[in-house]
Chains A and B, each alone.
Chain A
Amino acid sequence: MVDPVLRIHGLCKSFGNLIATDDLHLDIAQGEIHAIIGPNGAGKTTLIAQLSGALRPDKGQVSFAGRDITHLSAPDRSALGLARSFQITSIFPDFTALDNVALAVQAHAGHSFRFWRPAHEDPALRQPAQQILERIGLGARADEPAANLSHGEQRQLEIAMALATGPSLLLLDEPMAGMGRDESVQMVALLQSLKGRLTIVLIEHDMDAVFALADRITVLVYGRAIATGRPEEIRANKAVRAAYLGTEAADA
């Protein structure tokens, strides 16, 4: 394997007696979709929070593109090309879909100490934002307040905002959460289209999606990685089957 783009080394995080991340070691390769699965409470979202800079680990190291980022803030990590989406839809409901994405574009278009020109009329923000909305299939909904979008559309917008920051690594926290069948299929197609161009760490409960997308899968149980491997290896892994995968998913 070439040098990993993201290296997690001995990461630990606990909240009181609850161990959320337990001496985690993980390498994410350039361009892969690496799924992280595990039962509820396995510490998946806590891991994403530590990778994105929202949460400080107790111990251990995270390096990105060869650089130690353990002590960098979330905005500084974003500047290096790391983006995350949220499990709980974190869009700005009062803003239109286009405003939401334009804001993400703005985050990486220099400083925002610009006090006079209306951001709404700034083609440097609007045009790239519109392009991303088109690409993600929300082009026609650009001027709709985000609160009025369907749940599936809001989840797409969530991804669009992460993409608009021009990341090289995308941390996706359950992008399919609460989606219907059709919406999930659409989302899988979208993520498929990103494959190769971006490195993606994907947390997801939808096993069909995980097995369709992932190059490799890591299984997290009580904050500990019990197995990492290609989808077929994970499917065959006894410990994984016992700990997590129901027979239904294993047979799928």
Chain B
Amino acid sequence: MNNRQIWLTLITLALFAVVPPLAAIFDQPFYVDMLARVLILALAAVSLDFILGYGGMVSFGHAAYMGIGAYTVGIFSFYGIDNGFIQFPLAMAASALVGLIFGAMSLRTSGVYFIMITLAFAQMLYFLGISLEEFGGDDGMTAARSEFAGLVDLNDSSQFYYLVLACLALVLFILHRLVRSRFGMVIRASRTNEKRMQAMGFHTYRYKLAGFTIAASICGLSGALFANLNEFVSPDIMHWTRSGEIMIMVIMGGMGTLIGPVLGAAGFLLLEEYLPQWMEIFMTNAGEHWAIIMGPILIAIVLFGRGGIHALFARKWFPRRSGARNGGGKGHG
């Protein structure tokens, strides 16, 4: 959209890029894995933001596609195929296919019905996962790290981290182009006024479905990476609370800004990690009730920080230019 966003994106990615060397210097390898987790969920959040922030499609079942991606890796691993060059493309293709099918049905509805039907589809997959005794049922199953022979060694946490970061950077670049293309204009305008788009001659359903499928595919990539991070896959990855968390990341970070959800994912996961510890300082055993503080923080961000963390930064650093062109705005399904 403008330079402000591009700079914020580059600075954010650069900061993430220096994490592994810093962690090595201070001998805190734990941070590499923790931030890899942030980046993987950021990828899911960015994909949701593409359809939610730009397309106005309030999908409340986005974790389903993470699940498809993760289970693809898990199932291949189960049968002894660890080749990432096979696993990852198929994880994305499978997520895209499921997204296409779910989207084709969900996008016939709108508003609250759309939210509910996407949620229902995701829960359906969640219970399907539980019923798969072969793959561990609700206990899940272990998954070996994928092998990218000659490219990266995922057993090295630094290399794994950079692969995740590269995926995120690539996806951000692709979506940056996408939202400005003819296709992107249709998606964005359909959020604002779908009736008008149809009157002008756009078959909005087709474009929204294509967008929905693209988002599902990216989210599938995030799931494949998540399975690798945990070396474990279980139905929990598809639980509706995760769909909610991904949506919170998008809203916290700033809808319709691409880099916003990355900041949102970082903010959400770091609070989730450290809030309990901070609370312990004030009161013993207070940490387990961290949600008591987390809740009001989220409400405050939604009520007072319209545009999320992204808008906060934008206002601070580029006070005069923050504004009209790309606010999150009202979404409708």
Query: Are A and B genuine complex partners?
Result: yes
- Using CB atoms and an 8 Å cutoff, list the residues of chain A in contact with chain B: 52-54, 73-75, 78-79, 83-84, 86, 90-95, 99, 103-104, 106-108, 112-120, 122, 125, 145, 147-148, 161, 165
Known: A54-B198, A104-B200. 16 other contacts (CB 8 A): A74-B195, A83-B200, A90-B196, A92-B193, A94-B192, A94-B326, A99-B185, A103-B186, A106-B182, A113-B183, A114-B181, A115-B178, A115-B181, A118-B177, A118-B180, A161-B200
Whether A92 and B183, one on each chain, are in contact in the complex, defined by CB atoms closer than 8 angstroms, is no
**Count of CB-CB pairs between chains A and B under 8 Å:** 99
Which residues of A have CB within 8 Å of B188? 94
CA distance A161 to B192 in the complex (A): 15
CA distance A108 to B186 in the complex (A): 12
Which residues of A have CB within 8 Å of B195? 54, 74, 90
Binding stretch for chain A, among B30-38, B117-125, B201-209:
B201-209
Q: A115-B181, A120-B180 are in contact. Are A103 and B192 (CB under 8 A)?
A: no
Whether B182 and A78, one on each chain, are in contact in the complex, defined by CB atoms closer than 8 angstroms, is no
**In angstroms, how far is the closest chain A Cβ from the Cβ of B138?**
39
Whether B182 and A75, one on each chain, are in contact in the complex, defined by CB atoms closer than 8 angstroms, is no
CA distance A54 to B201 in the complex (A): 12
Most-contacted residue by chain B among A53, A90, A94, A125 (CB, 10 A): A94
Q: A94-B325, A103-B200, A145-B325 are in contact. Are A118 and B189 (CB under 8 A)?
A: no
B324 at interface, CB cutoff 8 A: yes
> How large, as a class, is the contact surface on chain B?
20 to 34
B329 at interface, CB cutoff 8 A: yes
Whether B199 and A119, one on each chain, are in contact in the complex, defined by CB atoms closer than 8 angstroms, is no
**In angstroms, how far is the closest chain A Cβ from the Cβ of B323?**
9
Sample of 9 A–B contacts (CB below 8 Å): A74-B198, A75-B201, A86-B196, A92-B192, A92-B193, A104-B200, A106-B182, A106-B185, A115-B184
- Using CB atoms and an 8 Å cutoff, list the residues of chain B in contact with chain A: 177-178, 180-186, 188-189, 192-193, 195-204, 207, 210, 324-327, 329
Whether B181 and A119, one on each chain, are in contact in the complex, defined by CB atoms closer than 8 angstroms, is yes
**Smallest Cβ-Cβ distance to A54: which chain B residue:** B195
Whether B185 and A119, one on each chain, are in contact in the complex, defined by CB atoms closer than 8 angstroms, is yes
Which residues of A have CB within 8 Å of B189? 92, 95, 103
Whether A112 and B183, one on each chain, are in contact in the complex, defined by CB atoms closer than 8 angstroms, is yes
Whether A119 and B184, one on each chain, are in contact in the complex, defined by CB atoms closer than 8 angstroms, is yes
Q: A90-B193, A92-B193, A94-B327 are in contact. Are A75 and B180 (CB under 8 A)?
A: no
Among B192, B193, B203, the residue within 8 A (CB) of A75 is B203
Whether B329 and A94, one on each chain, are in contact in the complex, defined by CB atoms closer than 8 angstroms, is yes
**In angstroms, how far is the closest chain B Cβ from the Cβ of A101?**
10
Which residues of A have CB within 8 Å of B324? 94, 145, 147-148
Whether A122 and B182, one on each chain, are in contact in the complex, defined by CB atoms closer than 8 angstroms, is yes
Q: A103-B189, A117-B182, A119-B181 are in contact. Are A84 and B199 (CB under 8 A)?
A: yes
Q: A93-B192, A118-B180 are in contact. Are A103 and B198 (CB under 8 A)?
A: no
**In angstroms, how far is the closest chain B Cβ from the Cβ of A171?**
9
**In angstroms, how far is the closest chain A Cβ from the Cβ of B181?**
5
Whether B181 and A116, one on each chain, are in contact in the complex, defined by CB atoms closer than 8 angstroms, is yes
**In angstroms, how far is the closest chain B Cβ from the Cβ of A198?**
16
Among A86, A95, A119, A147, the residue within 8 A (CB) of B182 is A119
CA distance A112 to B327 in the complex (A): 24
Whether A75 and B326, one on each chain, are in contact in the complex, defined by CB atoms closer than 8 angstroms, is no
Whether B202 and A75, one on each chain, are in contact in the complex, defined by CB atoms closer than 8 angstroms, is yes
**Smallest Cβ-Cβ distance to A48: which chain B residue:** B199
Whether B181 and A118, one on each chain, are in contact in the complex, defined by CB atoms closer than 8 angstroms, is yes
Which residues of A have CB within 8 Å of B183? 112-115
Whether A107 and B201, one on each chain, are in contact in the complex, defined by CB atoms closer than 8 angstroms, is yes
CA distance A119 to B185 in the complex (A): 7
Whether A116 and B200, one on each chain, are in contact in the complex, defined by CB atoms closer than 8 angstroms, is no
A-B CB proximity, top 8 nearest? A78-B201, A107-B201, A74-B198, A118-B180, A90-B196, A114-B182, A107-B200, A112-B182
Which residues of A have CB within 8 Å of B200? 75, 78, 83, 103-104, 107, 161, 165
Which residues of A have CB within 8 Å of B325? 94, 145
CA distance A91 to B324 in the complex (A): 15
Which residues of B have CB within 8 Å of A114? 181-183
CA distance A79 to B327 in the complex (A): 32
**In angstroms, how far is the closest chain B Cβ from the Cβ of A96?**
9
Which residues of B have CB within 8 Å of A107? 197, 200-202
Which residues of B have CB within 8 Å of A92? 189, 192-193, 196
Most-contacted residue by chain B among A84, A93, A118 (CB, 10 A): A118
Which residues of B have CB within 8 Å of A113? 183, 207, 210
Which residues of A have CB within 8 Å of B177? 115-116, 118
Most-contacted residue by chain B among A53, A104, A112, A148 (CB, 10 A): A112
CA distance A67 to B200 in the complex (A): 20
CA distance A125 to B185 in the complex (A): 12
Which residues of A have CB within 8 Å of B197? 107
CA distance A198 to B229 in the complex (A): 63
**In angstroms, how far is the closest chain B Cβ from the Cβ of A151?**
17
